[in-house]
Amino acid sequence: MEAAVDQVARLSLAEPASVDPDRLAQLYERFGAQRGEDLVCRAMEELAFRLGQAGRLYEAGDRLELRRCAGILAALADEIGMTALRRVAESVAFCIDSADAVALSAVLARMARVGERSLYAIWDLQDLTI
């Protein structure tokens, strides 16, 4: 049985944010610099709120509202080019639909990590000239 201990893998919780700068550029081109920036800032505020709300809904056991919250998160993330966050939020909905409580817990933790990193990545991109 000691050999099994040698096969334990360490999982890295560090995953890069995936932000599509072309999506941001399209927003800025479509709406202009000022309105584009306003839209991105409002989306970021809403994403931050929804990420916190998701945790509260999970703790409260409200899976229906959590699924709705994840759907809104996915749509907002897609709108401003946060591709990794969109995929993880869609995975939250899938876990709820499949009633997989263990996977849901893990994916929610991942969504919080990816969401935080994505928000920082967008913030950093806004410092660049688009």
pLDDT tens-digit series, residues 43-87: 999 999 999 999 999 999 999 999 999 999 999 999 999 999 999
| pLDDT tens digits along 99-113 | 999 999 999 999 999
- Please give the C-alpha separations between residue 5 and each of 1, 12, 13, in angstroms, as whole numbers: 8, 18, 21
Determine phi and psi for 64, rounding to 5 degrees.
Answer: -65, -50
Rounded to whole angstroms, how far apart are CA atoms 80 and 100? 29
pLDDT at 119: 87
pLDDT at 5: 56
> Looking at residue 19, what DSSP letter applies?
B
pTM of the model: 0.81
Average pLDDT on 23-42 reads 90
Quickly tell me which residue has 């993330």 as its tokens: 77
* Nearest-10 crossing angle of helices 33-60, 101-126: 160
pLDDT at 16: 64
**CB-based contacts of 8-15 (< 8 A; 24+ apart in sequence):** 13/113, 15/84, 15/110, 15/113, 15/114, 15/117
pLDDT at 10: 59
| pLDDT tens digits along 85-102 | 999 999 999 999 999 999
Determine phi and psi for 17, rounding to 5 degrees.
Answer: -75, 145
